[in-house]
Amino acid sequence: MMVLAKYAVLITMVSLLNLSCFAIDPPVIRCVSLDDDGNLTLTWSPPVDSNGTFENYVIYYDGVGGVFSQLQIVPNYSQTSFELIGNYAGTVSFYMGSTADGGVSKSLPSDTVSPIILNLFADGNKIEIQ
pLDDT tens-digit profile of 3-27? 444 444 433 334 444 444 557 999 9
Over the chain, what HEC string results? Answer: CHHHHHHHHHHHHHHHHHHHCCCCCCCEEEEEEECCCCCEEEEEECCCCCCCCEEEEEEEEECCCCCCEEEEEECCCCCCEEEECCCCCCCCEEEEEEEEHHHCEECCCCCCECCCCCCEEEECCEEEEC
Q: Would 8 be classed as within a structural domain?
A: no
In a domain, 17, yes or no: no
| Total domains in the fold of the chain | 1
Give the CATH number for residue 83: 2.60.40.10
Q: What is the pTM of this model?
A: 0.76
| Interval 36-68: pLDDT, tens | 999 999 999 999 998 899 999 999 999 987 899
Query: Domain for residue 13, yes or no?
Result: no
Whether 2 maps to a domain, the answer reads: no
100: in domain: yes
Which residues span the domain enclosing 78?
22-129
